[in-house]
Amino acid sequence: MKRPILIILAVLLADQALKFWVKLGFFLGESVPMFGEGHTWAYLQFVENKGMAFGLEFGGEFGKVALTLFRMVAVVGIGYLLWKAVKAKRSQGLVVSLALIFAGAMGNIIDSAIYGLIFDASTPFQKAVLFPVEGGYASFLHGAVVDMFYFPLAQGHFPQWLPIWGGEDYEFFRPVFNIADAAISVGVVLLILVQNAEERRTRNAEKQEQVVPPPAE
């Protein structure tokens, strides 16, 4: 059980440390090149997300509370699956993928649940303060998730002849995200790869059983 616990703690500590640093040190909307001036493909850009991963939102305030509660239920389910996987001594790939997803979900739950209670509001003109005397900017479960990684790797215009999007601007990669989002994404991709590998091994084992002739009497 030691490895998944270490993964979860490492992701949570890195995620929350970076979020605290950005929340307390950046103005809302402030953007800084990660690798110095002239490198326009990677930024730390402080945005606050009231919805899902990568800046997606839905359902207003009710939707936000519902999403946070859903995340909490999902974390309990993922934690149970992780515990079962460890107890059953499943593959390390499966255990690591579940640990990453669990840690990422927990990281964003912390923001949604308590950031509104412990920080005052960030604005383009004022940095946030931790434990402000007048209280936080939102109630329990109404906090915003702190995002900061922005990678505009490619920008341009779609050709005019292209249906629907012809002539419009495009940008890849537009969403701003955080370490927790990245952990969830890596965990999901790894989980898919592990499941596919296990299915292939199972199919190959079944084929070998069918090919091997029965022992001679």
Q: Which is the catalytic residue, given 15, 111, 120, 181?
A: 181
111 has catalytic annotation: no
Q: Which is the catalytic residue, given 15, 120, 147, 169?
A: 147
For the chain, how long is the longest CA-to-CA vector? 87
Interior angle at CA 86, CA 85 and CA 89, nearest 5: 85
Task: Classify 34 as helix, strand or coil.
Answer: coil
Count CA atoms within 13 Å of residue 118 on its CB side: 10
Q: Quick one: CA torsion of 7, 181, 145, 64, rounded to 10 degrees?
A: -110
**Alpha-carbon gap, residue 75 to 49, rounded angstroms:** 20
Q: Which helix (H) or strand (E) holds 48?
A: strand 43-49
147 has catalytic annotation: yes
Q: Which residues are catalytic?
A: 147, 181
